[in-house]
Structures are given as C-alpha cells and as structure tokens.
Structure 1
C-alpha cells in the first residue's frame, strides 16, 4: 500500500497509528516516531515501513535524514541510507548508513563522523547511545580535540563525563604541547585541569625528553603537559 498523503487512522490489536500528511506516530506506550518522505509504503501486518526520497525521521529528539529508509513500528528497529545526517541535541553525525536498534541505540557505518562539543569522533562504525551520550568505535578509532588527536584500535567515549578510553595501539599527538605519547591503553580525563593515564609499554616524548614506564600520567593543566611515572 503506497501512501503519499495519509489521512486515515489504522488500528490493530498490537499497535495503533495515526498517519497524517505523510507523518507517522507510534502508539503511546512507545517512543513517538515521525516519518516524512516522498513515497511511503506501509505493511499493517508486519509493521514494516519503507520510505524513499527526502526521508526525514524524528524520534525522541533525534532527527535523521537520508535518501531511503526502512522502519519496523513493532520492533522500533530500522535504518536510513544515502548521505545520512543525524542530529540529537548537540551531537551531529554523518554516515553512509545509520541503523536504529530501539530509541536509544544508533549504529552508524561508512565513513562515520560524529561531532559533539569540541570533539570529533571518526571511524568505520560508531555505536551511539543518545540517552547516556556514550559512543563506541570498535576499530580504527580517532578523536580530534582542540589541542590534538587521540587514536587507538578501539575507543569508548563517555561524552557527558568528557572521558575517553582507548585500547590497542594508542597514540596521542598534541602539537601545542609538543607532546607525542603511545601505549597499550590510555584514559583521557577532560574535566578540571585534565590528564591522560597511559598504561602498558607507555612512552611519552616532550621537548626532546622521553619517559618510558608501564604507567605514565600526563597532566594537562595550564596549556602544557607534565609527565610523571
């Protein structure tokens, strides 16, 4: 059933929808969803919605746009593809495809770039949980900040806490601080004066001075870095 301008109420025992002017709202016991597109196909039996052309999906304050989308109103799972952009409060993300696994889990794939405050997260895939502002980059992770970059095999970002955890082949470069540091794992704390704790084969070089230890703590106060073992 193709709908370009929907002005009818559909009822079933499992789910209740109000569809009006190409807009869909889910039942009251779920997060409301609004879907707009040039063409929409809706299967009342399966709950599957397929949208093409200038797709815009809104759910729980998140706005996703792209070329095409599928969404299952019963499972609250779906995806948007084709130059996808998502905005959720102060988070801006672009990707080739973004899947939604419920209202509070988005999986972005394909040259993903996510910007929140002063941090830009990039990677082939980013899992983002909007309710807690928590993100995971499972491989080739990079975070760019005001004073440098932080790369690792895997990265966890607790964005509300301004805390990052990088694991595997950690590399931190800060040109303003003349700092280059590596290790097996690093935890970045951005609050207060800020610090980075490197563990496992940790090496930090600053101003031609090099420190090596199993654990190095780099204090970031005053626009400079003080390294201690």
Structure 2
C-alpha cells in the first residue's frame, strides 16, 4: 500500500478557501501523480479522504487537486457522517455533488432520505437530487418510483415522470400516473401539494379517484379532481373515526413554490452527458 499526501501549500489553500482541507490523503496499491495537471491516478484498494470528512473507497480512481473533484470505480462506497452511497462508479464534483452510476443506493439518515436508481446525483448542502433509470425516492412524506425523478429536497419541489407509483404518508394514500409534481414552501411548510397527471389514480382511506389530473393537499388531506373523473366511495368513515386526526385547521394558502418554479440548486452539468473516463 502507498499513500500520497498533499503538499503543505495545497493544504493551506484548501484551509483558507473551505475552512478545512478537502483532501487529506489518497491510498492505493499503485499511485501516479501528474505535477502539471495536479491529478493523482490510483489503482488497487483505493481510499480517498475528501470533501470535508468524506471517505471514498473503490478499485481504481483519480483525484483532481485543481478543482477537488474525484472519480472512482469498482465497488465504490462513499461515507460522510450519516450519508452512505454505494455504486459501481462514482463522481465527486467540485461543488460537493456526489453522483453514483450503476446499482446506486444513497442513504441520508440525518434527513431520512433514500435515493436509488441507475444514475443518482445528490448534493446534501443544496438539496438538489436527480435519479435516472429505475428511480426510487423515499422521505418521511412517502415514496416515489419512476424512471426519472428530479428535484430539490429543501425547497421543496420534486418532479417524477415516465410512469409514477407513489405512496403519501401525509395523505394516507397510494396512487399512480404519468407524472407527479410535489411542491412545498420548505421543509417545515404546511402548503404541500401533489399533482398527479395523466391516467391518474389514487386510493385514499379505501376510496378511489380516477381522472386526467388529481391533486392531493397536505393541509386538507383531500383529493381534488379536474376534467372528467370517477370517484368510488367504499369507506364513509371520517379520519377521526378511523383513528386519525380530524381536520381542525383551516386551509393554508399556496406557498411560492409551484409547478412552474425552477428547481433550486440545479447545477449546469445536471443535464449534460456523463463524462467518459478512460481506464488507466
């Protein structure tokens, strides 16, 4: 095993710019350092300490001191505080966004979030996340499964497309549709709103709703329909009779986040093709 340590000058620059060094050391069986590009290439049992306390392990990889980005492949595991990411490949961008490729599982215990898919991008600082292929998102509010899921988990706005299955813990409902858009003015906002469109179907408390567009509001815990719709009532009990809470609070006006609001924290490269790394 060999270890490569950053030069003292580089560490000083990191400390001044970020408050703490973002790269402590890189360990691997074989290490190659390019002084011109400031890139370390590593092969075999790679361990990178980076990104303000993160530890990344894999089979092969590289670290760029110029912009503090990294790439690893081969059974990659990323651990930082209560966040863990496992994937076949992983990119760490200079803005501290982590991106996993291939059988990705990202768990953030501090925020009670799970992101899974073929291609998962997430930045815990900004709240931006994107999942492509076999997407799954789980939060305290419920779950979304769809081919494409993108949004900001702090703002909050999440868009799922390509055929969506959902569960809503807040509304005690399950449903599906072609697209789902969930918005809320913030983590503690009370104006949460789920718009399910395109062959939409929702079952709430045993009652079913079908239509071109269905709207679930967290504050009211009701389902609204637009267009020609069908409602099948099989449960006539109130939420309080079912053992839940009654609707004692007035409806809260919609907050500033809606379907037209841009997704906050979305980096420029979020829609760009994935960078191809040559095997070293």
The two structures have a TM-score, normalised by structure 1, of: 0.75
The size of the alignment, in residue pairs, is 213
The residue aligned with 1:164 is 158
How many Å separate the matches in 1 of 2:128 and 2:57? 22
Residues 118-137 of structure 1 mapped to structure 2, 5 A cutoff: 118-137=112-131
CA contact (8 A) 1:105 1:127 kept: yes
How many Å separate the matches in 1 of 2:196 and 2:3? 57
The residue aligned with 1:108 is 100
Distance apart, 1:151 and its partner CA: 0.9
Does residue 1:43 correspond to 2:41, yes or no?
no
CA contact (8 A) 1:171 1:182 kept: yes
Does residue 1:226 correspond to 2:218, yes or no?
no
Distance apart, 1:202 and its partner CA: 2.0
Give the RMSD, CA atoms, in angstroms.
Answer: 3.3
Does residue 1:85 correspond to 2:77, yes or no?
yes
The residue aligned with 1:192 is 189
How many Å separate the matches in 2 of 1:126 and 1:113? 8
Which is further off, 178-187 or 121-130? Answer: 178-187
How many Å separate the matches in 2 of 1:226 and 1:63? 45
The residue aligned with 2:58 is 66
Distance apart, 1:35 and its partner CA: 2.5
**What do the CA deviations read for 1:66-118 (whole angstroms, capped 9, x no partner)?**
33321233354431223322234553322122112324333211211112322
Change beyond 3 A, Cα 1:208–1:150: same
Does residue 1:18 correspond to 2:7, yes or no?
yes
Structure 2 residues not aligned, in runs of 5+: 226-280
CA contact (8 A) 1:59 1:103 kept: no
Structure 1 residues not aligned, in runs of 5+: 8-16
The residue aligned with 2:262 is none
How many Å separate the matches in 1 of 2:102 and 2:171? 32
CA contact (8 A) 1:34 1:58 kept: yes
Higher strand share: 1
How many Å separate the matches in 2 of 1:45 and 1:57? 22
Distance apart, 1:137 and its partner CA: 0.6
Change beyond 3 A, Cα 1:189–1:61: farther
